Structure 1
């Protein structure tokens, strides 16, 4: 016997590649002056999201003959916890698992101990550590004792990064990998450094012993010719790295497509799915006016934006008209937007079943790609604070 009909809502995260271009500016300025210059001529002082971008900037500096240059990282006033692995797609929205011991945290770098409990220590302490290897999605225990920064460097050079712990299941898995080792570093750390462009990137690549905070009122970050970073007084004059991003606009609109889901991923019944970039509820008027036309126009815009990019997601031009000597290079960046999803379903269908979610996601992705969504755009479910993907929508009459 069929159950009652429910209207469920959820949110997808749409990630669309963009082109980010770095510029080495061979002009000496204090950090604040360099920031102002970059904001006027480009987008901002450079944000560096990972080792691949760091290597690009290092190569540009070598080509330009620059040994030291400001980037957009400046010390702020308030510490925050973040993971060493700076990959936004690796973490779900509102995903902030912590497993602190009583009285913790009291330090800045985190290790896991017996029982899977976490402690925050001084980062200079030496102990074994656990790396994450993205190639095969495994956690690797290294029994060689290192401080947190050296452990991070080893993991990045030989695996992917220090391990991240996103949920209880992963915490239990890492506890099993640690075995009889009493404590081991993981990738969680706390610092007050902030990117000028507003990025939440947790990527850091400090030289050994840095940051060491000498005598100064404000501290900013410079990248060296080796690609490693130093903290320096912001009043020093340095060359600097700017970046700009090609603007990719995805119109806010309500679209309606027909997809298929059911209690079993292998058998389907027809459902209507409404998607909107707005987080506000979709109105009946919106839904009734939606047709194949809004879908086509929205996805056509996506396709048009994609045509302005090269085949690998980077712009084909790297020129500048500025008179200041500048060396530049383009790398891939990602624009993320939220897409609202509404599903009308039978109450007996478990929409939280992982196989159901995956099958449903694949169908939405396939239908959108058929209508022009870029092949390298990525859709992922965002979880609610209670850990669920869907929640029941209460219609207000």
Structure 2
């Protein structure tokens, strides 16, 4: 989603986090080309890459980079798309530019787990810990840090149900 109201990089990030999800991260050349097509001729726009050894603002692990010749040159800590070349440039974060946000998308996915434990696996503290560990592993695999995970509770309030043991005849 291209937002034409120019903002500094930090203002753009804040706006995206409040109104959408995050400034856009570019994972490959195809995504880069799709974004470039939306930028008006002669314009530049912010994306979610910033200098802290240039990491994505959503903590995604994409290593895709598309720097213009001689870039990054240390002139700034934030990255912009250059419309004319489809390449990237580092610029001062206080400059105001249009920017791209991730559009909010809701993906509902069910993950089934089999848990073996001597503890009460439906204890709220334990279920919270398990959910946090799952989220951390998914973030490591590229899930946005802003993703929301929750347990699906049964009618009785439990998250996990006991597996019935089959008897041998």
TM over 0.5: yes
Over 3 Å counting, the alpha-carbon distance change for 1:66 and 1:37 in structure 2 is farther
Deviation at 1:61, TM superposition (A): 1.1
From 54, 58, 61, the counterpart of 2:39: 61
Deviation at 1:44, TM superposition (A): 0.6
Matches within 5 A, 1:280-319: 281-283=115-117
Does residue 1:34 correspond to 2:12, yes or no? yes
Report the Cα distance in structure 2 between the residues aligned to 1:45 and 1:246, rounded to whole angstroms.
14
Does residue 1:73 correspond to 2:70, yes or no? no
Report the Cα distance in structure 2 between the residues aligned to 1:193 and 1:203, rounded to whole angstroms.
11
Gaps of 5+ in 2: 120-141, 145-169
Deviation at 1:246, TM superposition (A): 1.9
- The answer to which structure has the higher strand fraction is 1
TM-score (normalised: structure 1)? 0.29
Report the Cα distance in structure 1 between the residues aligned to 2:29 and 2:21, rounded to whole angstroms.
21
Query: 1:172 corresponds to which residue?
Result: none
Report the Cα distance in structure 2 between the residues aligned to 1:248 and 1:284, rounded to whole angstroms.
33
Matches within 5 A, 1:252-263: 252-254=111-113
Report the Cα distance in structure 2 between the residues aligned to 1:72 and 1:31, rounded to whole angstroms.
8
Cα deviations across residues 84-103 of structure 1 (Å, max 9, x unaligned)? xxxxxxxxxxxxxxxxxxxx
Gaps of 5+ in 1: 1-22, 77-191, 255-275, 286-333, 337-397
Deviation at 1:30, TM superposition (A): 0.5
CA-atom RMSD in angstroms: 2.5
Partner SS, residue 36 of structure 1: helix
From 28, 50, 54, the counterpart of 1:193: 54
Over 3 Å counting, the alpha-carbon distance change for 1:196 and 1:335 in structure 2 is closer
Q: Which runs of 4+ in 1 moved over 4 A?
A: none
Deviation at 1:245, TM superposition (A): 4.5
Deviation at 1:335, TM superposition (A): 6.0
Report the Cα distance in structure 1 between the residues aligned to 2:108 and 2:143, rounded to whole angstroms.
9
Over 3 Å counting, the alpha-carbon distance change for 1:72 and 1:335 in structure 2 is closer
Cα deviations across residues 30-78 of structure 1 (Å, max 9, x unaligned)? 000000011111111110100000000011114xx561000000001xx
Does residue 1:229 correspond to 2:88, yes or no? yes
TM-score (normalised: structure 2)? 0.64
Report the Cα distance in structure 2 between the residues aligned to 1:233 and 1:240, rounded to whole angstroms.
14
Matches within 5 A, 1:212-361: 212-214=73-75, 219-225=77-83, 226-254=85-113, 276=114, 281-283=115-117
- 8 A contact 2:60–2:143 mirrored in 1: no
Deviation at 1:282, TM superposition (A): 2.9
Cα deviations across residues 227-263 of structure 1 (Å, max 9, x unaligned)? 1000001111111111125222323433xxxxxxxxx
Instruction: State the structure with bigger RCO (CA 8 A, min sep 6), 1 or 2.
Output: 1
